[in-house]
């Protein structure tokens, strides 16, 4: 295990009905801006519940609507203007990972003296302060509700950039699984795939003698394998939703990643696919992961065999090492497909031209190496994606 620091100050308020307790967690004299996306929070009642919970604040709650999936810098800067104009001092994200990610950027940008694009261009280290904010989560997937990371897209330049800063941990996040019951199945499947790949990015690297982190990651993967089919079979089961929600939070709140190498090549490739072709984030991960695991089977052999055994029950008796690795990767692909997320470019009407574009974009961005050893080249990315044509 490597040395590490872990500090996650986000307060999680979990369970059906918890939105009603919101006001306890926001100063009563705060000037609150509520940020959200499209209309789903209005149709599923979340919008009204939040307003009812905050009715006792001294100042009326302002609103900023229209944060997109893959939230855009251009949109978010309008929220920053509103904040300055109205002297907003507390933000409340109501939505999924995109709204939370967007709110993190807004919180940092509103407190930043200079060109806010620096935060994404130079990185989170330029962030020295941020407005305080909380979140009401309606879509379990990204883990943004309990971490300090944010991914923002710039429409103008087709860039998708991430930043991290300890200043953008949510002060609190309300996780009410009943709010996820009305999600379209496509988003449910995406969320399961997203949480799954967040876990593998921190687990399928090389053995680092970190048994707790390994067991926790395996536990999250096993749980997703159990719950994924259940949520499709019983979409009204709020207990299943609750457990998926908690799994997705735990998959990317930093805990399973302490002291171990991390990969994130699949995300690096996926971000390009989204930026270029507008695919959902989880769709891009489902395309990229199987190929990445295949081309990295030697570097990842130890952990792939452990994954095969502990997550898929492919014990030593069940074929040669390579057969077990192939079966584990194949099972992973089949699980994503089962969740309604195609794992091949052809499933989205894309072909080899998409691979050329991704490779060109990575080269243009000056990629020198992805993965836990920073040695995955654009040529390797081409090979990985060719396995998912």
By the criterion CB under 8 A, which residues form the site for a copy of itself?
1-18, 209-212, 214-216, 218-220, 222-223, 226-227, 239, 242-243, 246-247, 250, 255, 258-259
Residue 251 CB, shortest distance to a copy of itself, in Å, is: 10
Among 200, 262, 257, 253, smallest CA distance to 225 is for: 200
Q: Which is nearer to a copy of itself, 11 or 125 (CB)?
A: 11
Q: Which is nearer to a copy of itself, 25 or 373 (CB)?
A: 25
Residue 258 CB, shortest distance to a copy of itself, in Å, is: 7
Q: Which is nearer to a copy of itself, 112 or 133 (CB)?
A: 133
Q: Which is nearer to a copy of itself, 227 or 361 (CB)?
A: 227
User: Structure tokens of 205?
Assistant: 């690297």
What is the Cβ-side half-sphere exposure of residue 35, based on CA atoms within 13 angstroms? Answer: 31
Residue 317 CB, shortest distance to a copy of itself, in Å, is: 15
d(Cα 384, Cα 291) in Å, to the nearest integer? 4
Q: Which is nearer to a copy of itself, 220 or 273 (CB)?
A: 220
d(Cα 342, Cα 347) in Å, to the nearest integer? 6
Q: Which is nearer to a copy of itself, 141 or 384 (CB)?
A: 141
d(Cα 378, Cα 244) in Å, to the nearest integer? 34
d(Cα 253, Cα 169) in Å, to the nearest integer? 10
Residue 21 CB, shortest distance to a copy of itself, in Å, is: 9
Query: Would you call 256 helix, strand, or coil by DSSP?
Result: helix
Q: Which is nearer to a copy of itself, 239 or 356 (CB)?
A: 239
Burial of 60 (0-12, 13-18, 19+ CB in 10 A): exposed
Residue with tokens 């792939």: 304
Q: Which is nearer to a copy of itself, 31 or 310 (CB)?
A: 310
What is the Cβ-side half-sphere exposure of residue 157, based on CA atoms within 13 angstroms? Answer: 14
Residue 229 CB, shortest distance to a copy of itself, in Å, is: 14
Query: Would you call 2 helix, strand, or coil by DSSP?
Result: coil
Which run of H or of E encompasses 136?
strand 133-137
Among 29, 197, 20, 171, smallest CA distance to 104 is for: 171
d(Cα 233, Cα 256) in Å, to the nearest integer? 29
Residue 281 CB, shortest distance to a copy of itself, in Å, is: 22
Residue 313 CB, shortest distance to a copy of itself, in Å, is: 12
Residue 41 CB, shortest distance to a copy of itself, in Å, is: 21
Which residues, other chains included, contact 334 with Cβ-Cβ below 8 Å and sequence gap of 6+? none
């Amino acid at each position: 295990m490597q040395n590490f620091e872990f500090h996650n100050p986000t307060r999680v308020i979990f369970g059906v009905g918890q939105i009603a307790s919101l006001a306890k967690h926001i100063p009563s004299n705060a000037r609150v801006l509520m940020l959200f996306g499209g209309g789903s929070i209005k149709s599923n009642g979340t919008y009204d519940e939040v307003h009812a919970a905050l009715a006792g604040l001294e100042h009326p709650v302002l609103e900023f609507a229209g944060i997109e999936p893959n939230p855009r810098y251009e949109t978010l800067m309008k929220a920053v203007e509103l904040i300055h104009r109205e002297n907003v001092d507390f933000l409340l994200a109501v939505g999924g990972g995109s709204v939370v990610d967007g709110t993190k950027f807004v919180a940092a940008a509103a407190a930043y003296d200079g060109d806010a694009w620096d935060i994404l261009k130079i990185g989170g280290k330029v962030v020295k302060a941020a407005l305080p904010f909380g979140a009401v989560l309606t879509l379990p997937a990204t883990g943004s509700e309990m971490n300090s990371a944010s991914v923002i897209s710039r429409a103008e330049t087709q860039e998708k950039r991430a930043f991290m800063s300890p200043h953008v941990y949510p002060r609190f996040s309300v996780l009410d699984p009943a709010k996820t019951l009305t999600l379209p199945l496509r988003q449910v499947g995406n969320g399961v795939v997203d949480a799954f790949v967040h876990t593998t990015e921190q687990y399928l690297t090389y053995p680092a003698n970190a048994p707790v982190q390994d067991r926790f990651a395996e536990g999250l993967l096993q749980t997703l394998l159990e719950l994924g089919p259940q949520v499709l079979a019983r979409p009204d089961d709020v207990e299943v939703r609750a457990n998926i929600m908690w799994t997705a939070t735990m998959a990317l709140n930093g805990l399973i990643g302490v002291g171990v190498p991390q990969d994130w090549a699949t995300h690096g490739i996926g971000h390009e696919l989204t930026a270029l072709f507008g695919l959902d984030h989880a769709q891009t991960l489902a395309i990229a992961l199987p190929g990445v695991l295949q081309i990295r089977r030697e570097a990842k052999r130890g952990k792939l065999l452990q994954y095969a055994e502990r997550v898929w029950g492919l014990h030593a008796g069940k074929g040669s090492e390579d057969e077990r690795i192939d079966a584990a990767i194949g099972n992973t692909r089949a699980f994503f497909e089962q969740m309604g997320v195609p794992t091949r470019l052809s499933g989205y009407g894309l072909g080899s031209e998409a691979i050329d574009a991704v490779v060109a974009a990575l080269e243009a961005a000056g990629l020198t190496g992805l993965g836990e050893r920073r040695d995955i080249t654009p040529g390797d990315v081409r090979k990985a994606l060719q396995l998912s044509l």
